[in-house]
Amino acid sequence: MGRVLRKLQEKFSDLTIEEIEVTTHPLFSLRHGVKMIPTLAAGNKKLSGIFLSQQKIREFIENLYDDSKKL
């Protein structure tokens, strides 16, 4: 997933990625509704699954940017 996100950072230069190690920060995960690994989160939107395809990740990020333009 990291490689896909780094590639998307080239397209979306203001994309900020923060990795949280849930095994060492379990309370953070619980507070933010992370129930599955991996999980991408932005505000109240989450994408999670055992296998996240490049297409799903790209769609999630693109939808975030589309939604932000509507504000």
- pLDDT at position 70: 67
Query: What is the SS3 assignment for 20?
Result: coil
Give the pLDDT score at 14: 83
Query: CA-to-CA distance for 51 and 17, rounded, in angstroms?
Result: 19
pTM score, whole prediction: 0.76
Closest C-alpha among 43, 33, 2 to residue 19: 2
Residues 66, 61: Cα–Cα separation, whole Å: 9
Q: How confident is the model at residue 42 (pLDDT cuts 50, 70, 90)?
A: confident
Domain spans, the chain: 2-70
The residue type of 36 is: M
How far apart are the C-alpha atoms of 5 and 33, rounded to whole Å? 21
